[in-house]
Amino acid sequence: SAWKSTKVQECELSYLTSDQIHDLLSELQKGKNRHAAMVTKVCLATGARWSEAESLEARHILNDQIQFAGTKSGKIRSIPVNTELAQELRSHHIKAETGQRLFAPCYSAFRDAIERSGIKLQNGQLTHVLRHTFASHFMMNGGNILVLQRSLGHANLTMTMRYAHLAPDHLQEVVKLNPLSALTLG
């Protein structure tokens, strides 16, 4: 047939708990690389990929928004952040050190902090755990799946739906919105 069903194998997505996030940020602050903690915060606050966050330039912080260019989809997306983080990013930037870029490379500093904190991750999940953590906590805190899709920059909902089951009221609308619930059965 012309239509072939493609089944996407769901892999277990690991995400960090609030305690693990705290421990990781603490380890990153202790490390020698001053950029790793900030890149981690950007990823946790926006759901950005490590490479998107690490390559940010000063001009990408506009008011209280971070603009991500050079994304996997090729589209530019702007994600709002709280004023404190935007200010912290602006004051973090030292032109003499990194030029227009906000951060120097810091992937290995992140890897070292994960190891020091004792956090065990699945293979291939190193920095990507931050993106999964953003998405998972966003849904567990009652976030809208369409807002999550736009935040992550997914072209369609298929990828984003991996997080839907984490919503506290996942599928609960079925109880209220099915046609039988509107009938008064006597």
The domain spans of the chain are 18-182
pLDDT at 185 over 70: no
Contacts of residue 23, Cβ cutoff 8 Å, sequence gap at least 6: 117, 118, 119
Question: What does the alpha-carbon distance between residue 179 and residue 176 come to, in Å, rounded to a whole number?
Answer: 9
Between 130 and 184, whose confidence is greater?
130
Angle at 128 between CA 126 and CA 133, to 5 degrees: 110
Write down the catalytic residue from 35, 60, 131, 132.
Answer: 131
Tell me whether residue 131 is one of the annotated catalytic residues.
Answer: yes
Query: Given this model, what pLDDT does residue 12 score?
Result: 65
C-alpha 102/C-alpha 27 separation (Å) is: 21
Confidence of residue 11 (pLDDT cuts 50, 70, 90): low
* pLDDT, tens digit (0-9, with 9 covering 90-100), for 137-166: 999 999 999 999 999 999 999 999 999 989
Residue 79 β-bridge partners: 66
Alpha-carbon distance 11 to 59, whole Å?
37
Question: 18-182: which CATH number, 1.10.443.10, 1.25.40.10, 3.40.50.620, 2.30.60.10?
Answer: 1.10.443.10
Active-site position among 72, 75, 90, 170: 72
**Does 35 participate in catalysis according to the annotation?**
no
**Is residue 63 over pLDDT 50?**
yes
128 in active site: yes
150 in catalytic set: no
- Name the nearest CA neighbour of 102 among 31, 27, 36, 25: 36
In this predicted model, which residue has the larger pLDDT, 168 or 45?
45
**Number of neighbours of residue 29 by Cβ within 10 angstroms:** 11
- Please tell me the pTM assigned to this model: 0.87
